[in-house]
Amino acid sequence: MILHSDSNQSNWVVIVAAGQGSRMGGDLPKQFMQLGGQEILRYSVNAFQQHVAIHGIIIVTSDQFLNHVKNAYPACEVVPGGVTRQDSSAKGVAACPDDATKILVHDAARPFLSQQIINECLAALDEYEAAAPVLPLRDTIVMSVDTAWQQLDRQTLRAMQTPEGFQAETLRAAHRSGVVGTDEIGLVLTSNPEAQVHLFEGSPDNFKITTSLDLELAAIVAARYRS
Ligand code: C5P
């Protein structure tokens, strides 16, 4: 479904919302939980719908919630998800039109993405094959090596956020490559280490709701983002 039109570009978003939210407890997957009077998924759908350069949104969700999502988001295309996030993302990308030029993949569990992050992601894709918001790490990080621990230099590490954005063919090629990963930038870098990837500063607001503590924090942030 076309939300906005621009003759030069066809920018599509895949929102992955097929997770079961098992780390949170409770019956409802986190993306369907209520937050400030609307479900969590609604925040990111609104953010992309409000952006003039986004042409269409694909929501990937589990069979159980297909009808709900179709009814609740009639302007979006809704497709069934897969067993892993990667499977769900691949199904969403397959549902994007062949002429899509840029594709952004976003976690439904990150309700508070800003228009600025969408802008930066899209703008970077004029030049780079992939782009994503990241944050520096606040904690010291150690890695398990055999039976010991080794400290990593956190100055060289970043935490990835979403939306992760791609020139469409870069993302399609990464999914075709058969590599496995927890996010699409990872797939691109593993399948093509030469890929030109631009990482820019994300926002602490754009956190992923994973635990019940995150949900409490989200209730505070929601007051600023409700629309
Ligand atoms: O489980 P995690 O928090 O890493 O999931 C990140 C995002 O991926 C969530 O929005 C979740 O709904 C989605 N996901 C999916 N399909 C799966 C697993 C997760 O769309 N099979």
pLDDT tens-digit map of 151-178: 999 999 999 999 999 999 999 999 999 9
Rounded distance, CA 161 to CA 120, Å? 13
Cα of 24 from ligand 1 centre, angstroms: 12
Residues (pLDDT < 50) of the chain are none
- At 21 the pLDDT is 72
For the Cβ of 81 lying below 6 angstroms from any atom of ligand 1, the answer is: yes
Q: Name the E strands within the chain.
A: 11-17, 34-35, 38-39, 56-61, 77-80, 102-107, 130-136, 142-145, 148-151, 158-160, 164-167, 197-201
For the Cβ of 85 lying below 6 angstroms from any atom of ligand 1, the answer is: yes
User: Is the preceding omega at residue 193 within 30 degrees of 0, hence cis?
Assistant: no
Domains, the chain, in order of start with CATH, read 11-132+161-226 (3.90.550.10)
- At 9 the pLDDT is 86
The pTM of this model reads 0.95
Asked whether the beta carbons of 10 and 4 are under 8 A apart, the reply is no
Question: Nearest-CA neighbor of 118 among 196, 172, 198, 52?
Answer: 52
Cα of 146 from ligand 1 centre, angstroms: 30
For the Cβ of 161 lying below 6 angstroms from any atom of ligand 1, the answer is: no
For the Cβ of 108 lying below 6 angstroms from any atom of ligand 1, the answer is: yes
The two structure tokens encoding residue 188: 């691109």
85, 160, 183: residue to mutate for ligand 1 pocket, most atoms within 8 A of CB? 85
- At 223 the pLDDT is 86
Question: Nearest-CA neighbor of 130 among 43, 42, 212, 196?
Answer: 196
Cα of 160 from ligand 1 centre, angstroms: 14
The two structure tokens encoding residue 133: 């918001």
Question: Nearest-CA neighbor of 212 among 35, 19, 41?
Answer: 35
DSSP 57: E
Cα of 154 from ligand 1 centre, angstroms: 26
For the Cβ of 89 lying below 6 angstroms from any atom of ligand 1, the answer is: no
Question: Nearest-CA neighbor of 41 among 139, 124, 110?
Answer: 110
Rounded distance, CA 23 to CA 192, Å? 32
